[in-house]
A and B are shown apart, each in its own frame.
Chain A
Amino acid sequence: MQKRVFMVAGYNTVSLGSGRSEFNPKKENPGIEHYMMEAGRATLNMINGAKNVDESVVGNFMASRFNNQAHLAAFIPSIDKDLLYKPSVRVEGACASGGLAVVTAVKSILAGTADVVLAIGVEVQNTVKAMYGADHLALADYHKKRQAGHAYFFPGKFSDRAGAYANAYGEEYMRKGLAQWYANCIENARLCETAQEYENKNEHLIETGLMPPDGSRFVDHLNFTDCSKVSDGASAIAVVSEEGLKRIGISAREAIELVGFAQTEDNIMEEPGDPLELSTTKVSVQQAMQMAGIKKEQLATVETHDCFTIAGLLATEAFGFADKGKGAAFVANGHTSRDGQIPFNTTGGLIAWGHPTGATGVHQVVTILEQLSGKAGQAQIPIPDDKPYGMTVNMGGNDKTVVSMVFKKCD
């Protein structure tokens, strides 16, 4: 990269929704502006004020339907009066909107138009019941596919992938992997106070994860436990240049450096060529690692887009940690757990931390920042000296928009 780019001052709100004791679906819950202000102000406080910010980016998927609100960039000045009249933009790429927000901020730094960019991701989804939320989320695929699609459109899409996986490699074999992915996520979320499943008390996680799906009530090949949460929340982070770090008065040791990234797009009008593969994710991961000049063995941890447990399994294969068809065994054998060969989603991922869609890509970067800078609290995993890298993969739609980023711990 022509310039060094750093991530610093990350903040996650609580991921609010079912599972959190403070959540009551029958009462009015905080709106999108509340989350933007909470996350934005927390990050601004850490970088010594909004006066240091040159530009802002907000990633959001579907406020226009969940909240009857568009034009989110114009909410940025409500976060702080020092953001008034400064450039601000909203970006959208379905569930990869957060990742796009970070990448857009990075490009401003690289282009030299800014040294400090505030990147926020936000989504508030608990405004409607699940069956209506499914309508909104279905817009992440080609609208002409909706009519023939499942009532729960995206669970239906990933259920089809799980069905193909089960058909190719065995139902029981796959289910063991999915159950272990679910169990890992819940156990990790119990270590993170902002996680939606932080209070989960289930003592029989594997047993729960092994329950056979019921296609008459939901989808054919996935359970509710295989799905990410319906969440409200926001995450924010400052994306800065070396000059930016000086301006905000924070040392590089408290930051992480972006050393490679890729933003990869597939044709939304076409179905995946091979349902057994996250092809776009695979290309995206390879491009980002190539740009960073690292191998997967140098990664200490990965935050991947497990909107469904099957997406987690397929991600291990897209990364090359497991061969094609071996992801279920790789996960079932504990290699992705927090003390495994490559810890994935150390605060619960989308399955258990939560999935406020537009915020997820930013949340993933905040998690990597916390892990690599040693500030992950109870959820902290060891970062070996020979593995100073962490990576995020943020996916929009059915593997259509993918943002991958490689970060390095700063010495």
Chain B
Amino acid sequence: MNNLDRYQNITVLGAAGKMGSGILLLNVLHSVRLMHQPQNADKTFVIHAIDQSYERLEGVMNYLKTQVLKWAEKNIVELRKQFIRRSHLIDNKDIIEAFVNDAISIVKPSVTIESAYQSYLVFEAIIEDEAAKTDVLRKIKTNNPNHPFFLSNTSAIPISILDKKAGLEKHIIGCHFYNPPAVQKVIEVVELKDGLPELSQLVKDFAKHMGKLIVEANDIAGFIGNGFFMREIKYAVDLYESLKKELAPAEALLAVDKISHELLVRPMGIFQLMGYVGIDVCSLIMRVMDNYLLEPLQCSFLDDLLNKGFRGGQNADGTQKDGYFRYSKGKAVEVLDIDSQQYISIDTIEAKVNDFLAVKTKTYSWNQLSRSKYKEKHLNEYFESINQEKSKGASLAKDYMQSMKAIGQKLYEDGVTKSIDNVNAVMMNGFYYLYGPVNNFIK
């Protein structure tokens, strides 16, 4: 069976979730383009979108229509060439509508697992829970006569565990997408030792066709992305506790966020990032990773927050829920005082935090540098100046940078990846950092 045969019947499990809907979209765009190739005119392509309820699936179908339409509009130059043989389609509008209709017609929404029993490829993006994943994968493996390949989006559970416990006979590969999957360039791929070469090749071909960058990670819980992120969270929480000796809780939280955001020239601070991902999701991943690693990762700080009702994450319309921050028009305007459980206006404490950090070096915004042709030069100059500075903020930023470098190096030393470059690649492409954490900016 070749890859093309396998693409003709795909299942996405957890298709209405944050990651599942993105993986579904990627597959729809991939399959519809295969469908439009002249040599595939006689073939049928099907993608089963499986989730728990029709309400959730209706939402994902609307999301798909919007996203496929946007994709078609953006790629009309290429589409027009592809559609040249369909002579009844004249206007761009005709072509875009036909493309969207073709794409949506591939998708078969379903709430029953049986829909996956004819598929050749199964993308799994359900809850990060070993038992839940194992159960659903085993059912499909047992009932599907087509010996399907399983591509798991797990970001924390070792693939070998899923393989053994679900009895998948090495028909599984880790294929960890970043949010949102259609936009983020990187896919963290985790192959089993003695895994199937044809499965590995299929993922490579899929990534190439969709313009994705594959970064290989070894089968150690958390892999590169969460291996780094969860350890950074622990570092940030420790720093927050330490700064609380000198600052009020909300000020300490804002200070850590500013260091990791503005002083490290990142797109957002570490607490804002946790809120974006979801405090509940971060806590869950830590607990899952904890099951497989000797190093204790669980963080009572996050659990306490969850118990107090602060979860973060996003609303259905993409706006941020209350977490460490409260947002207005996409901008953080209030910060949480964890001790009193009250939000405090950032405007009222920002000056004090800035005075505390007292950084003199002119900072660049991430936005500004990400579009600059002279990014490298500016980063070098900036960190050179931070190196020279004696301020509290510069000192904390240097410590933070050194600790991130140590986390990255440890991932390599622990065998999570065969190359330091892979760590930097995941953090730069999956987290939009302008530079990898393992660098020589700080002397």
Task: Tell me which residues across on chain A come within 8 A of B91, comparing CB atoms.
Answer: 132, 135, 138, 146
Binds B, one of A148-156, A232-240, A264-272, A390-398: A148-156
CA distance A152 to B95 in the complex (A): 13
Is A134 at the interface (CB under 8 A from chain B)?
Answer: yes
- Which listed residue (A148, A151, A216, A217) contacts B92, Cβ 8 A? A151
A146 to B89, CA, bound (A): 10
Residue of A nearest to B80 (CB): A151
> Judging by beta carbons under 8 Å apart, are B77 and A218 in contact?
yes
Determine how close the nearest CB of chain B comes to the CB of A18; give it in whole angstroms.
16
Contact call B87/A131, Cβ cutoff below 8 A: no
- Which of the residues B77, B78, B84, B90 comes within 8 Å of A152, measured between beta carbons? B77
Nearest CB in chain A: distance from B379 CB, A: 22
A26 CB within 8 Å of chain B = no
| Contact of B87 with A147 in the complex, beta carbons under 8 Å | yes
Complex contacts, A143 vs chain B, CB 8 Å: 90
- Give every chain A residue within 8 A of B89 (Cβ-Cβ): 147
Q: Name the interface size band of chain B.
A: 10 to 19
Cα-based distance from A152 to B80 in the complex (angstroms): 10
Is B77's CB under 8 angstroms from A216's CB? yes
- Shortest distance in angstroms between B318's beta carbon and chain A's nearest beta carbon? 16
Q: Whole-angstrom distance from the CB of B62 to the nearest CB of chain A? A: 19
User: B-facing mask of A136-180, CB < 8 A → 1, else 0?
Assistant: 001000010011101110000000000000000000000000000
**What 0/1 readout, one digit per residue, does chain B (265-297) give for beta carbons within 8 Å of chain A?**
000000000000000000000000000000000
Instruction: Count residues of chain A with CB under 8 A from any CB of chain B.
Output: 16
Interface residue A295 (Cβ < 8 Å from any Cβ of B): no
Question: Does residue B96 face the partner (Cβ distance < 8 Å to A)?
Answer: yes
Q: Scan residues 313-329 of chain A and give those whose CB is less than 8 A from a CB of chain B.
A: none
- Closest-by-CB residue of A relative to B94 is A135
Q: Are A148 and B84 in contact (CB under 8 A)?
A: yes
Contact A217 B77, beta carbon cutoff 8 Å:
yes
User: Contacts of A129 on B, CB cut-off 8 Å?
Assistant: 73
A151 and B87 contact, CB distance less than 8 A: no
B window 69-100: CB within 8 A of A: 73, 76-80, 84, 87, 89-93, 96
Contact flags (1/0) for A103-145 with B, using CB distance below 8 Å?
A: 0000000000000000000000000010110110010000100
A146:B78 contact, CB within 8 angstroms:
no
Looking at chain B's contact residues, is the secondary structure mostly helix, strand, loop, or mixed? helix
Alpha-carbon distance between A2 and B93 when the two chains are bound, in angstroms: 49
Report the Cα distance A143→B90, complex, angstroms: 9
Q: Which of B78, B91, B93 has the most CB of A within 10 A?
A: B91
- Contacting residues, chain B, for A131 (C-beta < 8 A): 73, 76, 92, 96
Instruction: Tell me the complex Cα distance, A143–B94, Å.
Output: 14
Q: How far is the CB of B92 from chain A (nearest CB, A)?
A: 5
B197 to chain A minimum Cβ distance, whole angstroms, is 32
CB-CB under 8 A from A146, the residues of chain B are 90-91
For B87, what are the chain A residues with a Cβ–Cβ distance below 8 Å? 147
Question: Shortest CB–CB separation between residue B60 and chain A, in angstroms?
Answer: 24
Q: Shortest Cβ distance from B75 into chain A, in angstroms?
A: 9
For B78, the closest partner residue in chain A by CB is A216
Q: Which has the most chain A C-beta neighbours within 10 Å: B73, B78, B90, B92?
A: B92
* Set of chain A residues within 8 Å of B77, measured between Cβ atoms: 150-152, 216-218
Residues of B within 8 A of A217 (CB): 77
Residues of chain B within 8 A (CB-CB) of A151 are 76-77, 79-80, 92
Is the pair B93, A135 in contact by a Cβ cutoff of 8 Å?
yes
CB A65 to nearest CB in B, in angstroms, measures: 10
Contact between A150 and B93, CB atoms less than 8 A apart: no
How many whole Å from B77's CB to the nearest CB in chain A?
5
Contacts of A134 in B (CB 8 A): 92
Complex Cα distance, B93 from A151, in Å, reads 10
| Alpha-carbon gap, A210 to B92, bound state (A) | 29
In this complex, what residue of A is CB-closest to B73?
A131
Residues of B within 8 A of A138 (CB): 91
When distances are taken between beta carbons in the complex, the residues of chain A under 8 Å from B93 are: 132, 135
- The answer on a CB contact under 8 Å between A150 and B73 is no
Closest to B83 in A: A147
CB pair A132–B84 under 8 Å, yes or no, is: no
Residue of B whose beta carbon sits closest to that of A153: B92
Contact with A along B45-79 (1 / 0, CB 8 A): 00000000000000000000000000001001111
Shortest Cβ distance from A135 into B: residue: B91
Instruction: Indicate with 1 or 0, residue by residue over B431-443, a CB within 8 angstroms of chain A CB atoms.
Output: 0000000000000
Q: Collect the chain A residues with CB atoms within 8 Å of residue B92's CB.
A: 131-132, 134-135, 151
Q: A135, A152, A218 — which one has the most chain B CB atoms within 10 A of its CB? A: A135
In the complex the two chains form, what is the Cα distance from A138 to B90 in whole Å? 11
Q: How far is the CB of A26 from chain B (nearest CB, A)?
A: 14
**Residues on the B chain within 8 Å of A147, using CB:** 84, 87, 89-90
CA distance A134 to B96 in the complex (A): 13
The 28 sampled A-B contact pairs (Cβ below 8 Å) are A131-B73, A131-B76, A131-B92, A132-B91, A132-B92, A132-B93, A134-B92, A135-B92, A135-B93, A138-B91, A143-B90, A146-B90, A146-B91, A147-B84, A147-B89, A147-B90, A148-B84, A150-B80, A151-B76, A151-B77, A151-B79, A151-B80, A151-B92, A152-B77, A216-B77, A216-B78, A217-B77, A218-B77
- The 4 closest A-B CB pairs, nearest first, are A135-B91, A151-B80, A151-B76, A131-B76
- A sample of 5 more A-B contacts (CB under 8 A), given A131-B76, A150-B80, is A132-B93, A134-B92, A135-B93, A148-B84, A151-B77
